[in-house]
A = this chain, B = another copy of it.
């Protein structure tokens, strides 16, 4: 057992994947000598060389577009997008090419591409550095989308994503990069596309992913003091959703709150609310409530703490669902 950060878990996972398979490549802006602006690829170019850890020109469409060609040649590119807000120049390549080529080719051409995106706010950054674009990708048929929330998942999930033959948008909770956890490299990891109850409870199911898992856990600790028992589920996989543990939980609690940083309107919470309602209709004591960013662009950082869901706003929603 070693204590590692999420960033370190990712670095270790990337290294393990590169060691396991010579076809794995890392590409992106500043991923080489610098090791990425978050140092997640630290040391990899030194050890694996410039052919496998590629500092690219500054253009995201170019990164994803060339990754497609490399994948067609049998490589497994892991593309780093420097910040969430900079994935959009690559949007066309992701949505119309990466997501569709397996389908277009009737399964003949797999697209084993991982798109790593540090996402979310809370780090005091300037515009475009705090976005939560997950719903755009989850709505796109042909992509799989996952988010890690802790160092152990970071380590395993990145390896599983790289091993997958499908294109995966891999979301990293940037404001939690430096949070620590204990890694047991010999333990058997959960599969990639599985959600996990991270705190059992009986009154309300709280669904979160990425950076909000910690917030949800804080809320559940605080709620306990007030005699309310929250069950917290870390979704981990956003597309496909792993609905069974969600339904199972909501059928027990009768109440659910979904938490994410992205704007509520058409955020992940809307899909979860719609599905939970459809599948647990007679178990629901209250409508599924959603806590998320407001339907505004991400605000200047001096007020980002107000924009982002926090413990209080989660508890507020919990109370509102309990009021039904």
**A residues at B contact (CB < 8 Å):** 61, 85, 88-89, 91-92, 95-96, 99-100, 103-104, 127-128, 135-136, 138-139, 141-142, 239, 262-263, 265-271, 273-274, 277-278, 281, 286-290, 294-297, 324
- Contact (Cβ within 8 A) B92 A263: no
Query: Contact between B100 and A95 (Cβ–Cβ < 8 Å)?
Result: no
Chain B neighbourhood of A100, CB < 8 A = 127, 297
Which are the 4 A-B pairs with shortest beta-carbon distances?
Answer: A88-B92, A273-B274, A139-B266, A91-B91
A69 to B76, CA, bound (A): 39
Measured between beta carbons, the chain B residues less than 8 angstroms from A141 are 263, 265, 294-297
The residues of B that contact A273 with a CB separation of less than 8 Å are 270, 273-274, 277-278
Residue in B closest to A273 when the chains form the complex, CB atoms: B274
Name A102's closest neighbour in chain B (CB-CB).
B297
User: Do A88 and B85 contact each other (CB < 8 Å), given the known contacts A141-B296, A297-B103?
Assistant: no
Q: A88-B92, A273-B274, A273-B278 are in contact. List 11 more A-B contacts (CB 8 A).
A: A88-B95, A103-B296, A135-B135, A136-B136, A139-B265, A141-B265, A141-B295, A273-B273, A274-B288, A278-B287, A281-B286
A277 contact set on B, CB distance < 8 A: 273-274, 277, 287-288
Cα–Cα, bound, A17→B193 (Å): 51
Q: Min CB distance, A274 to chain B, in Å?
A: 4
